[in-house]
């Protein structure tokens, strides 16, 4: 498949959750990502995919740890902010959002997210123009929000957690 636009639109039909991936350290950084999934319960592993040209790629390799905040339905502004290449870099980018430092990694984690995870880099795999980073879970917090922010067809959406009952 050589047409990147067609490929992107087809991939975009798969609804995903929306996260902010962060690293701490002397030069903290964050980015919006929808390529996040669980891998294993034993050991507890998750994966994120990061473009090789993204600032996050080098930052994650440098720190060896990362945080993942799974965004709630009312956090679209946060998702858009960390997807905006015009935002400040370094610690200043976190002045515009509510966050706290993860207890294990000091990675910034978003307040009011559905869940926050801290991970240490476990493995890294070639994923074409991206790298597949697998992290081993160090800590997790589950927020009180119920509704998830989703991304599908190039747009943000909200999940209705009270769908109609389906009977078979």
**Which tens digits make up the pLDDT trace of 21-56?**
999 999 999 999 999 999 999 999 999 999 999 999
How far is the CA of 161 from the CAs of 74, 78, 152, 158, in angstroms? 14, 21, 17, 9
Domain positions in the chain are 4-158
Q: Which H helix or E strand runs over 133?
A: strand 130-142
CATH of domain 4-158: 2.30.110.10
Cα–Cα distance measured from residue 91 to residue 141, given in angstroms and rounded to the nearest whole number: 23
Token pair recorded at residue 15: 């609804």
Beta carbons of 98 and 81 less than 8 angstroms apart? no
Q: 142: which strand partners?
A: 115
Q: pLDDT digits over 64-109, tens only?
A: 999 999 999 999 999 999 999 999 999 999 999 999 999 999 999 9
Token pair recorded at residue 167: 């009977």
Beta carbons of 113 and 71 less than 8 angstroms apart? yes
Report phi then psi at 155, rounded to 5. -135, 155
| Selection from 2, 20, 1 nearest residue 76 by Cα | 20
**Model pTM score:** 0.90
| Selection from 4, 1, 15, 3 nearest residue 149 by Cα | 15
Q: Is the pLDDT of residue 162 over 80?
A: no
């Amino acid at each position: 498949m050589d047409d990147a636009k067609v490929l992107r639109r087809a991939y975009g039909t798969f609804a995903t959750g929306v996260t902010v991936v962060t690293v701490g350290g002397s030069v903290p950084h964050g980015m919006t990502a929808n390529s996040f999934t669980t891998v294993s319960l034993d050991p507890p592993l998750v994966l994120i995919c990061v473009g090789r040209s993204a600032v996050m790629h080098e930052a994650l390799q440098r720190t060896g740890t990362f945080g993942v905040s799974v965004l709630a339905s009312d956090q679209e502004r946060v998702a858009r902010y960390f997807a905006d290449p015009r935002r400040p870099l370094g610690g200043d980018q976190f002045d515009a959002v509510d966050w706290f430092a993860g207890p294990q990694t000091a990675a910034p984690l978003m307040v009011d997210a559905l869940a926050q995870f801290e991970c240490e880099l476990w493995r890294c795999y070639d994923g074409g123009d991206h790298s597949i980073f697998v992290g081993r879970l160090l800590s997790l917090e589950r927020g009180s929000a119920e509704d998830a922010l989703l991304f599908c067809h190039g747009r943000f959406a909200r999940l209705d957690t009270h769908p109609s009952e389906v009977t078979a």
